[in-house]
Amino acid sequence: MSSGRVDDPGDRSPDRPEGLLSSEERRRLEATIRDLNRQFLELEEDGLASSLGELSDRLQALAREPAIQRRAPLSEVLETLRELLDQSARAEAGWSSSDTDLLLEALANILDEARHPGSWPPELGRRLEELCRARRMEGGQSASEDGANTDPPASGETLEAHPFGNLPDIDDSFLLELFREQFFETSAEIEELLLRLEKGTDDAEVAGALKRHVHNLKGAAFQAGLEVVGSYLHAFEERLRRLEEIDDLAAAGRLLGGVDTVTAYVRTPSPEGAERLRVASQELLSDDWQPTVAVVDEIESSQSPISGQTIRVQIEKLDELLDVTGELVQQQIRLDSWLGGLRSIVDGFSRVLRRHRKLREYLDAQRLKMPAEVGDRLVGLERSIRIALGDLHKGVTSYMSTTETDAASSRSLTARLKDHVMSTRMVPVRTLFASVPRIIRDLGRSQSKSVLLVLEGEETELDRRVVDAVRDPLLHLVRNAIDHGLETASERRAAGKPTQGRLTLAARQHGGMVHLRISDDGRGIDPERVRQKAVGAGLLEASDSSQLEESELLELVFKPGFSTRDEASTVSGRGIGLEVVHRAVAALNGQVEVESRLGQGTSFLIKLPLTLAIVRGLIVEAGSERFVIPSSAVENLIQVEPAQVGTLAGRTVLELEGRSVPLESLTALVGAPPRLEEPAKSEALINVVLLTHDERDLGVLVDAPLGERWTVVKQLSQVFDSARLASGATTLGSGEVVVVLDAGELVRAGAHRRGSSFEEVGFAREATAPPPARLRRVVLGPDLEENELRETLEALGLQLEATSQASEVLVRAQDSAVVLILLRISPADRRTVALVKRLKGDERTRRVPLVLVGTEDSDTLRREGLEAGASGFIVQSEVGGESFSRMIHRFTRRGL
């Protein structure tokens, strides 16, 4: 926001009517409000008090916008909103969705009011103020006060003093540690800012930054349960505000002593320190405030557990580091291949030396037959060559061995660097488990279930990105366990179990995977109910169901549309259920399994890869593009003979050791444009990548496999979310960007393309079978001489379809029987290039190869056509000839 204070000169214009916004103002206002909306929604998800602080600052920034300041009522509303947020942060009251609703409504109306003055609904302002007043009263009285509670229900249960206070066996030191980390990072900055203010820096930004820091720390302190610190920081903040009001920020320097007092307490908490802070808070708030002198001697002596040993680094920076490391790994691979070349040169040298020895032997034998001076001359020459060669050989050999040693050490350094960089991304799973206690507490309370949480293997490490991505599925399972799994206390008593339910979260590393187990000792899943539900939901035929094993029945809970609850509860089971968990985990290249015993409990096992950022992948060529397929999903890369390809139930399959695997062309799956030139290699064998994902197989036909390597996966922007086949992108050594395919989506897409025919797989049918009886059409563009083309095309088994105008081509080309489009192109006519682009830009016609017939042999024409997306170009004069026939065959044979 710091750069947001650009005063539009237009603002000052006296003739701007009071109500109107400049476009710059509106843009900024919209952007700020959009950000706020997003943050509120995120807040609703994570409910962190520290983000409340940030939001409050943002609201303040919004209030400073000139557009808002011109309208007093809006400034007031924003002040109320801020107070609401501050109250929540202070009271650790969390944030309910009804609060969010109200705020979002207010924000939308603020924007409207700014645009069209007078549209603010006064009723909304009243509602906000009432809520604010109610909260103020709660805050002022004790948390248990019920009588004055006029609020939405959420506040009653969230006004607990400490989030983990009532839970046994749970260690909140983690949050405390986080707070300390944040505190030591920011306290130095706070001190510096205070010093600057003391020196008389009259800078709104300094004051703003100071307030922001203090505010955020305050939120974090409450979150960590350090109320005495939080209250002090609140007083600190309040004092700053008062100083600002009387425009005496220079006096802020006197607050420095306070920072020391807090620092001492955060380092080594003690009852005396707490008391000192309490006194200091009161002093700060009293009307005749005087600077407190810090009385802290123990700072130097006490060791600090955190500062100096850890720093916080944004994950994006680590991503970059990893990117560079990945490039380095690839550079190393290139160096190794250079080294191979060098080695063969050295070998060549040895061969030359051996030859030379022969020459010498021959020369020695022949010497006597030659005239003396010739012999002497030759021997002299041979000698000098031998010496020179010997020196060179020695030099090259020693150079070679040094280089090899260096390369080896560089290789091991690179590998170590990679490991270290990877390890910096690893975080203990306790960061993942940290939010569980709160959920258990809230849910358990609302459902009158007492839950004992047991955490195991919290130190097990996982890539930060994996942790972020698995959080939702994990929490879903936790909610499920409490909601569906565990019984109420009375039910448990009746079943002869301890009244307190037990939920265990355990993490363990298994090779390159981490196993997360979420188990409860609740009622378990009844396989009989699963069977009935599955049959009822149409997931299973009643006749089949009797043959399923119990474990197979349980797997059904992951199917879409499955839920064992008859009525959806507010917590879980909204019809999406475990399918979402299954999908999310599969998207992480992981697996989820379930075990359950009726009456004894249920256990979910999530298996996850340690990291996602580096993926070993197979680089393949499809059409004119390249892709990376993650090796984890690749069962095998095989070359198959045409005879192994057949048809089963209308789709092309690969016969493989007694099983039939569906076969799809990657070019077709990803819609890649066909290659411009045919590869030189023999077409007798085809390359198939066998994929296995989620117990489904798919053979993917690729044009060429280009080797396997480690790749650093970069994330694509959110706008590509709908492109499910792409899980990211990677940069090859050449700088070329290549899409990393999502193997699971690929298999799914393959399964959905039911009925792909032989040709659509891109397979050369004539190698095995007589020409297909299927209709194959060629669309001829306007102005093409049909008769000239007829013979060649019909000889290739193609049917002609003439058109008279461009729009007709566009329509005809959509027919799936069309295997080729021929268009006439001339320098004078620009329409053909435009038509090519439209055909290539249209999803329905993009797949069809397109050959241009040029009226003259011009490079410009050829280039323009090919650049626009045409697959081939041929000159009019060659039409009907051998090369034309070959080209048409080439494009139509592939089918796609």
Partner 1 sequence: MSPNSSPIEQEVIRHVLRDRAHRASQSHATVEHDGTPLLTFSLGGETYAVEAARVREVMSAKPICRIPGADPKLRGVVNVRGGLVTVLDTCRLLDLPPDGRATSLLVLELPKLQLALQVAGPLDLALLDNRHRPGASTHGDESSCHRAVAVSGRLIGLIDPDRLLAALPTPSHRDRPNGRRESP
Asked if residue 67 binds partner 1 (CB under 8 A), the reply is no
DSSP annotation string for 1-12? -GGG----HHHH
CB–CB of 92/160 below 8 Å? yes
Asked if residue 587 binds partner 1 (CB under 8 A), the reply is yes
d(CA 317, CA 252): 35
CB–CB of 890/858 below 8 Å? no
Asked if residue 315 binds partner 1 (CB under 8 A), the reply is yes
Tokens of 434: 């940290």
Asked if residue 31 binds partner 1 (CB under 8 A), the reply is yes
Asked if residue 356 binds partner 1 (CB under 8 A), the reply is no
Least Å distance between CB 302 and partner 1? 34
Helix (H) or strand (E) holding 428: strand 426-428
CB–CB of 851/890 below 8 Å? no
CB–CB of 728/741 below 8 Å? no
Alpha carbon dihedral 86, 89, 90, 91, in 10-degree steps, equals: 120
DSSP annotation string for 788-819? HHHHHHHHTT-EEEE-SSHHHHHHHTTSTTEE
3-state DSSP helix/strand/coil percent for the chain, to nearest 5?
A: 55, 15, 30
Asked if residue 670 binds partner 1 (CB under 8 A), the reply is yes
Given CA atoms 229, 230, 233, 234 in this order, what sign does their dihedral have?
A: negative
CB–CB of 892/776 below 8 Å? yes
Among residues 568, 723, 769, 775, which is the contact residue for partner 1, using CB under 8 A? 723
Least Å distance between CB 21 and partner 1? 6
Among residues 181, 323, 664, 759, which is the contact residue for partner 1, using CB under 8 A? 323
**No. of helices (H) and no. of strands (E), the chain:** 30, 23
Binding span for partner 1 by CB under 8 A among 279-287, 361-369, 521-529, 733-741: 733-741
Binding span for partner 1 by CB under 8 A among 4-12, 73-81, 181-189, 753-761: 4-12
**Buried (b) or exposed (e) across 367-387, using 16+ Cβ within 10 A?**
eeeeeeeebeeeeeebeeeee
Residue type, position 138, single letter: E
Residue 403: CB partners within 8 Å, gap ≥ 6? 339, 342
Least Å distance between CB 725 and partner 1? 5
Least Å distance between CB 596 and partner 1? 24
Asked if residue 786 binds partner 1 (CB under 8 A), the reply is no
Asked if residue 819 binds partner 1 (CB under 8 A), the reply is no
Asked if residue 843 binds partner 1 (CB under 8 A), the reply is yes
Asked if residue 660 binds partner 1 (CB under 8 A), the reply is no
Q: Which is nearer to partner 1, 266 or 852 (CB)?
A: 852
Residue for token pair 């259920």: 577
Q: List binders of partner 1 among 241-280 (CB under 8 A).
A: none
Asked if residue 2 binds partner 1 (CB under 8 A), the reply is no
Residue for token pair 């258990």: 440
Q: Which is nearer to partner 1, 46 or 376 (CB)?
A: 46
Least Å distance between CB 618 and partner 1? 17
- Rounded to 10 deg, the angle between the 122-140 and 72-91 helix axes is 30
820: left (phi over 0), alpha (psi -120 to 50) or beta: beta
Tokens of 593: 């399994």
Residue type, position 783, single letter: D
Least Å distance between CB 10 and partner 1? 6
Q: Which is nearer to partner 1, 238 or 472 (CB)?
A: 472
Residue 504: strand, helix, or coil: strand
User: Beta partners for 702?
Assistant: 687
Asked if residue 115 binds partner 1 (CB under 8 A), the reply is yes
Q: List binders of partner 1 among 601-640 (CB under 8 A).
A: 612-613, 625
Asked if residue 715 binds partner 1 (CB under 8 A), the reply is yes
Q: List binders of partner 1 among 197-236 (CB under 8 A).
A: none
Among residues 70, 607, 753, 838, which is the contact residue for partner 1, using CB under 8 A? 838
Asked if residue 751 binds partner 1 (CB under 8 A), the reply is no
Q: Which is nearer to partner 1, 16 or 529 (CB)?
A: 16
Asked if residue 512 binds partner 1 (CB under 8 A), the reply is no
Least Å distance between CB 748 and partner 1? 12
Residue 33: strand, helix, or coil: helix
Asked if residue 588 binds partner 1 (CB under 8 A), the reply is yes
Asked if residue 30 binds partner 1 (CB under 8 A), the reply is yes
For the window 542-581, what string marks contact with partner 1 as x by the rule CB under 8 A?
A: --------------------------------------x-
Q: Which is nearer to partner 1, 634 or 778 (CB)?
A: 634
Least Å distance between CB 69 and partner 1? 15
d(CA 682, CA 684): 6
Distance of CA 212 to the CA centre of its chain: 30
Helix (H) or strand (E) holding 582: helix 577-587
Among residues 519, 589, 602, 652, which is the contact residue for partner 1, using CB under 8 A? 589
Q: List binders of partner 1 among 33-52 (CB under 8 A).
A: 38-39, 42, 51
Binding span for partner 1 by CB under 8 A among 104-112, 316-324, 678-686, 816-824: 316-324
Asked if residue 832 binds partner 1 (CB under 8 A), the reply is no
Q: Which is nearer to partner 1, 57 or 521 (CB)?
A: 57
CB–CB of 429/467 below 8 Å? yes
Q: List binders of partner 1 among 463-502 (CB under 8 A).
A: 465, 468-469, 472-473
Least Å distance between CB 507 and partner 1? 19
Helix (H) or strand (E) holding 506: strand 501-510
Tokens of 10: 């237009």
Among residues 220, 451, 672, 848, which is the contact residue for partner 1, using CB under 8 A? 672
Count of residues in the chain: 896
Binding span for partner 1 by CB under 8 A among 77-85, 120-128, 321-329, 364-372: 321-329
Asked if residue 62 binds partner 1 (CB under 8 A), the reply is no
Q: Which is nearer to partner 1, 262 or 628 (CB)?
A: 628
Asked if residue 16 binds partner 1 (CB under 8 A), the reply is yes
Asked if residue 737 binds partner 1 (CB under 8 A), the reply is yes
Among residues 353, 726, 764, 806, which is the contact residue for partner 1, using CB under 8 A? 726
Q: Which is nearer to partner 1, 744 or 895 (CB)?
A: 744
Q: List binders of partner 1 among 855-884 (CB under 8 A).
A: 864, 867-868
Among residues 2, 14, 23, 546, which is the contact residue for partner 1, using CB under 8 A? 23
Among residues 103, 178, 252, 833, which is the contact residue for partner 1, using CB under 8 A? 833
Residue 828: CB partners within 8 Å, gap ≥ 6? none
User: Beta partners for 854?
Assistant: 825, 875
d(CA 747, CA 662): 10
Greatest C-alpha distance within the chain: 128
Binding span for partner 1 by CB under 8 A among 170-178, 421-429, 540-548, 707-715: 707-715
Distance of CA 328 to the CA centre of its chain: 23
Q: Which is nearer to partner 1, 16 or 774 (CB)?
A: 16
Least Å distance between CB 664 and partner 1? 13
CB–CB of 633/693 below 8 Å? yes
Q: How many residues bind partner 1 (CB under 8 A)?
A: 78
Residue 45: strand, helix, or coil: helix
Q: Which is nearer to partner 1, 297 or 316 (CB)?
A: 316
| E strand segments, 598-650 | 601-609, 614-622, 625-630, 634-640, 645-648
Q: List binders of partner 1 among 406-465 (CB under 8 A).
A: 465
Residue 139: how many CB atoms within 10 A of its CB?
Answer: 17
Asked if residue 841 binds partner 1 (CB under 8 A), the reply is yes
Asked if residue 643 binds partner 1 (CB under 8 A), the reply is no
